[in-house]
Amino acid sequence: MAAPRESVGRTIPLARPDIGERELELVTQVLRSDVLAMGSFTERFEAGIAELAGRREGVACSSGTAGLHLGVRALGIVEGDEVLTTPFSFVASANCLLYERAVPRFVDIEEDSLGMDPDLLAAATGARTRAVLPVHVFGRPCKIEAINSFARQRGWSVIEDACEGLGSSVHGRPLGSFGDVAVFAFYPNKQITTGEGGMVVTDDPGLADTMRSLRNQGRDTDGTWLRHVRLGYNYRLDEMSAALGVAQVERLEELRRGRTRVAAAYEQALGGRNWLGLPRAGAGEDVDWFVYVVRLHPQIDRDTLVVRLAALGVPSRPYFAPIHLQPFYRSMFGFKPGDFPVTERVAASTLALPFSSRLSDDDVGHVAEVLIDAIDRPGRLGG
């Protein structure tokens, strides 16, 4: 007798880090070494990420959010400066501007890449625009080349939020290689993880020095311990996290192959349905997916679907909730529904499915079956 689906008893996580023997080996090496902070693993990790992004300098820090804040500060963005950015992102990409009392000027996105629409930059430009902060969403490149050249022509800085973009490239150029600074993040759901952690990369040694000082309590780069030359923070990354990062960088290709396999299995199981849009790379792009986010037909009630899938043991999640509609952005800036229509339409239709390098083909098949069953029948959620 077939067991009812609820009792199958599998727990499929929405995301899952991929930690192997090499990670255990290197982290253990740190723990046995007595050097738990500011040691050689941090330097190795910085060099590894800088190389992946094709940059000269890497500055490891305690989170992607800390990295964005370091970039904003090092570039001299101050109170009242305006920065063009996207409302379809994780809240940190706009919060890093608020930390400095700069003003985010949101620019709506294009449906294809889900990044800022370069054609809308001119209309959003004001007398105090100083920089642009584009975000690569879900691992897919935004229109970074067009955004970059628009900003360069005006002498603006570019802060590239590549927190979801490690390992992806456009026209052969890695994400993270475009901005004056670019930021990666290593929370456990990202392409590689350090637990908590982030990295700013740049080609400018002066900016890198400033960010190293800022992350280390404003100490001078000569390292004099109790001399502080600027207001700084404790945004350092510890050595256990850095060792985890070094091992994950070594295994990046392997992890990526796993994600590519899972994305292909979803494509196979879910392709060709008119109520479902699957994530695709654009022309000239090579994408290492961070999450697997599908787009539902507008007539499907997404939030009901999330509850129904959860009851059947399949976690899923809307991705993202627009930043401008977050309660404190609404009260700070007076944003309201309708302000950024493409962002809002996309946000209402997205569904992140379970995704990680270690998800089995069998689990992908199960997720697909449950999803199809919940929607694709007369009288169900679909039309």
Q: Give yes or no for residue 216 binding ligand PLP (CB under 6 A).
A: no
Chain Cα centroid distance, residue 236: 20
Residue 276's beta-bridge partner residues? 296
- Pick out residues in 106-135 that bind ligand PLP (CB under 6 A): 135
Please state the closest distance from residue 266 (CB atom) to ligand PLP, in A: 20
Q: Is 341 exposed, middle or buried (0-12, 13-18, 19+ CB in 10 A)?
A: exposed
Please state the closest distance from residue 63 (CB atom) to ligand PLP, in A: 4
Rounded CA gap, 229 and 214, in Å?
Answer: 10
- Interface pattern 242-271 for ligand PLP (x via CB under 6 A): ------------------------------
Please state the closest distance from residue 216 (CB atom) to ligand PLP, in A: 18
Q: Give yes or no for residue 89 binding ligand PLP (CB under 6 A).
A: yes
Query: Please, what is the Cα angle at 107 between 101 and 113, to 5 degrees?
Result: 125
Residue 109's beta-bridge partner residues? 116
Please state the closest distance from residue 54 (CB atom) to ligand PLP, in A: 20
Please state the closest distance from residue 91 (CB atom) to ligand PLP, in A: 8
- Stretch in the footprint of ligand PLP (CB under 6 A) among 28-36, 63-71, 217-225, 359-367: 63-71
Applying CB under 6 A, among 26, 77, 109, 163 the residue interacting with ligand PLP is: 163
- Stretch in the footprint of ligand PLP (CB under 6 A) among 1-9, 74-82, 85-93, 342-350: 85-93
CB–CB of 142/134 below 8 Å?
Answer: yes
Q: Give yes or no for residue 93 binding ligand PLP (CB under 6 A).
A: yes
Q: Give yes or no for residue 63 binding ligand PLP (CB under 6 A).
A: yes
Please state the closest distance from residue 115 (CB atom) to ligand PLP, in A: 11
Residue nearest to ligand PLP (CB): 64
Half-sphere exposure at residue 345, Cβ-oriented, CA atoms within 13 angstroms: 12
Q: Give yes or no for residue 144 binding ligand PLP (CB under 6 A).
A: no
Please tell me what DSSP assigns to residue 126: -
Q: Give yes or no for residue 187 binding ligand PLP (CB under 6 A).
A: yes
- Pick out residues in 298-317 that bind ligand PLP (CB under 6 A): none
Nearest Cα residue to 152 out of 192, 119, 179, 116: 179
CB–CB of 26/250 below 8 Å?
Answer: no
Please state the closest distance from residue 58 (CB atom) to ligand PLP, in A: 15
Helix (H) or strand (E) holding 133: strand 129-133
Nearest Cα residue to 262 out of 112, 373, 366: 366
Q: Give yes or no for residue 90 binding ligand PLP (CB under 6 A).
A: yes
For 259-283, give one letter per residue: b (16+ CB within 10 A) or e: beebbebbeebbeeeebbbebebee
Q: Summarize as ranges the residues that interact with ligand PLP (CB under 6 A).
A: 63-65, 89-90, 92-93, 135, 161, 163-164, 185, 187, 198
